[in-house]
């Protein structure tokens, strides 16, 4: 600070009606509008991507992170999206801690995922290619 500048007073410079207070209020309201706009845009994107309506999205948001809505990695089958589970919880001894319902849900999810990925093929997935692969395996034994 040079000698010509006056220091801002430590108390009262954000008092109502001061220029600093007015600018601060305008910046805060602009930030709030920007956050609200971004949230609205994000909600519209989610509703379009997952083909759900606002009521369903409100219900999902209200439930929060209590794992009622399993994560989804994009894999789906004829029954719809296949849930993806994160690491299992463990106790202080490293043993898996899981309810029977969670075991069942995880098992069913894995079976569905294996069936779905087992059906994925491309132009190189032919009987001739696999015959050649197995011939090569037999020759190396």
The whole-number average pLDDT for the span 98-113 is 91
At residue 112, does pLDDT exceed 80? yes
pLDDT at 104: 92
What is the structure's pLDDT at 108?
Answer: 93
Q: Say which residue the tokens 């491309």 belong to.
A: 122
**Long-range contacts (CB closer than 8 Å, 24 or more residues apart) made by 59-62:** none
Tokens describing residue 102 = 């969670």
Strand runs labelled E in 1-141? 71-77, 80-84
User: What pLDDT is stored for residue 10 in this prediction?
Assistant: 45
Q: Among 2-11, 41-50, 107-116, name the one with the lowest average pLDDT.
A: 2-11
All structural domains of the chain with their residue ranges: 14-67, 70-141
Distance between CA atoms of residues 75 and 116, nearest Å = 8
């Amino acid at each position: 600070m040079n000698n010509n500048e006056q220091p801002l007073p430590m108390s009262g410079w954000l008092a109502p009606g001061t220029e600093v207070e007015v600018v601060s209020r305008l910046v805060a309201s602009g930030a709030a509008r920007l956050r609200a706009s971004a949230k609205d845009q994000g909600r519209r994107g989610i509703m379009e991507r997952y083909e759900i309506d606002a009521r369903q999205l409100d219900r999902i948001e209200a439930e929060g992170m209590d794992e009622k809505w399993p994560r989804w990695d994009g894999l789906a089958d004829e029954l719809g999206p296949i849930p993806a589970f994160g690491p299992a919880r463990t106790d202080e001894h490293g043993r898996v801690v899981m309810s029977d319902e969670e075991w069942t849900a995880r098992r069913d999810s894995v079976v569905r995922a294996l069936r779905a990925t087992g059906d994925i093929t491309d132009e190189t997935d032919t009987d001739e290619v696999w015959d050649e692969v197995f011939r090569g395996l037999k020759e190396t034994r």
